[in-house]
Structure 1
Amino acid sequence: MTLSLAPVADPAAPLARRNPVAKLGAALLFSLPLVATLDPLTPALALAVELAVLPFFGIHLRVVARRAWPLSIAALGILLTMVLFAADRSGELLFALGPFAVTTGVASTAMGMFLRVFAVALPGIIVFATTDPTDLADALVQNAKAPARFAIGALAAFRLLPLLGQEWQMLTLARRARGIDAGRNPVAKLRIFASTTFALLVGALRRGGRLATAMDARGFDATTPRTHARIQRFSRADAMLLLGAAVLSGAALATSIVTGFFRPILG
């Protein structure tokens, strides 16, 4: 079990060079309107736009597929749950799965939820695939005026995430060396998984406490103004990225309204 959080995009790509705060803000602006409607057209249009801009971020589609595969499992689970257990089964009957009637209303809602999982999550994947965590923390402090204690603490925690994968592997190998193996017993596998997870959690809490003490000892909690080794500049191109994200997201939402697909969550 390994975990890599390094940027994997081409740093020379035009949108990959943008300010981290601008990319994060654009992802939020583009994703938030998608949760205002249940129709499948809005997330489908948004997903088409996101896939179209991937080359401008210097990201290959296979990289996105490799990082987003857990979303596929979640989306398929949501799709199956909506098809089988949806309360509103209005519309024409398409087919029946035993006692479950799949209507056009059920299919539309289920497909909307399925597409929305990818449309909302993909901008975040793009941001973290094109951004160095240190640059993001610097930009949050310099451009978004976030508290330095919060930004640097989040950066330290983010940098420690790959260690969790290595520690999980070490715990698994150590228990196997001691003869603790579930074999083909599913109950034993579940018990070993739970105990390994608890051991990993205890180790993470201890490491976090030591890290917090070490950071305070090095002056990270000081109230004096901090200097920055790497200056993050917010340019006109970064503002245009934010504006473009808002316009494209609004266009997708307006298209669903004009075509009659818009189904507001509230109301």
Structure 2
Amino acid sequence: MGGPDGTEATAGSAPLARRNPVAKLAAALVFSVLLLATLDPVAPAVAIAVELAVVPLFGLGYRALLRRMAPLLLSAAGVLVTLTLFAAERTGTVLLTAGPVLVTSGVLVTALGLALRLLAVALPGVLVFATTDPTDLADALVQNVKAPPRFAIGALAAFRLVPMLAAEWQLLAMARRARGIDAGRNPVRRLRLFAATAFGLLVLAIRRGTRLATAMDARGFDAGIPRTSARRQRFGAADAALVVGAAIAAGGSLAVSFAAGVFRPVIG
């Protein structure tokens, strides 16, 4: 259901992409929260398989999803490597010994479980925000959840500004390069340049946020009077079914873990 290059989707025809934004957000939260009940790798692995199976129903291509998930994949790999090498407790069978490096089965299972759980918990959020129009989400929060309009509209404005931060980062980097400021292969200079660019981006973000807040106040967004909605966001039976289905899928993942005898509750 993605495009010819397997990247983006025909989102308008995707059945789950058409669901109410609040329903998609609630389903992602329910699915993610239930997975936090165990530390074993089986439950999140089953959950990831379910999530990947429904990706076409959200109208996303797998290559597009992979690009969006790249930072999370790096984070999960970092968690796996760090916990495997530097865990305080070494339980289970010794799998690898190389000088000071000691890898045991207990440490590997724990590290793998945390890495997979990170991906399983984050992937639903990626699917939701990749297939949800920010304006529809703000409208649904106000109409279906009765969120304060000031909060919903502020969240919408912040959501709209996120892509601009990436563009401004590139502009700052190009401007510094044009002035002859380049770290080359020196890691210390590269780190200092990164910190300076991040500080410059922070200043730009604060200035833009201040101007945006002033503009919104000038247009009466903080007037406190009832506001109307141009687009109705209805929460129907299909939306409720999506939330229930997410709970069932997460419960099924935990049931598989329990049946396999590897269920490790966080508490207890």
TM-score scaled by structure 2?
Answer: 0.93
Determine the structure 2 residue equivalent to 1:58.
59
Determine the structure 1 residue equivalent to 2:249.
248
The one-letter amino acid paired with 1:23 is K
Q: Using a 3 Å threshold, how does the CA distance of structure 1 residues 211 and 104 change in structure 2: closer, same or farther?
A: same
Deviations 1:33-78 (A, max 9, x none): 1111110110011011101111211111111101101111111111
| Superposition deviation, residue 8 in structure 1 | 5.0
The one-letter amino acid paired with 1:98 is G
Q: Is the 8 A contact 1:8 1:129 kept in 2?
A: no
* 2:147 is equivalent to residue 146 of structure 1: yes
CA separation in 1, counterparts of 2:86 and 2:186?
31
Q: Is the 8 A contact 1:43 1:116 kept in 2?
A: yes
Determine the structure 2 residue equivalent to 1:190.
191
Q: Report 1:55-204 matches (<5 A).
A: 55-204=56-205
| Superposition deviation, residue 193 in structure 1 | 1.5
Q: Is the 8 A contact 2:169 2:197 kept in 1?
A: yes
| Superposition deviation, residue 177 in structure 1 | 2.2
Determine the structure 2 residue equivalent to 1:49.
50
Question: CA RMSD of the aligned region, Å?
Answer: 1.4
CA separation in 1, counterparts of 2:200 and 2:161?
16
Q: Could you say what secondary structure the match of 1:101 adopts? A: strand
Q: Is the 8 A contact 2:9 2:61 kept in 1?
A: no
Q: Percent identity?
A: 65
Q: Is the 8 A contact 1:29 1:246 kept in 2?
A: yes
Q: Could you say what secondary structure the match of 1:95 adopts? A: strand
Q: Is the 8 A contact 1:46 1:119 kept in 2?
A: yes
Deviations 1:131-170 (A, max 9, x none): 1111111111111111110110011111111221222222
Higher mean displacement: 239-248 or 180-189 = 180-189
CA separation in 1, counterparts of 2:257 and 2:95?
23
Runs of 4+ in 1 over 4 A off after TM superposition: none
| Superposition deviation, residue 9 in structure 1 | 5.3
Deviations 1:152-201 (A, max 9, x none): 00111111112212222222222222222223322222222211111110
Q: Is the 8 A contact 2:41 2:112 kept in 1?
A: yes
Q: Could you say what secondary structure the match of 1:233 adopts? A: coil
Q: Could you say what secondary structure the match of 2:11 adopts? A: coil
CA separation in 1, counterparts of 2:185 and 2:252?
53
The one-letter amino acid paired with 1:35 is L
> Across the two proteins, how many residue pairs are aligned to each other?
261
Determine the structure 2 residue equivalent to 1:217.
218
CA separation in 2, counterparts of 1:37 and 1:131?
29
Determine the structure 2 residue equivalent to 1:3.
none
TM-score scaled by structure 1?
Answer: 0.93
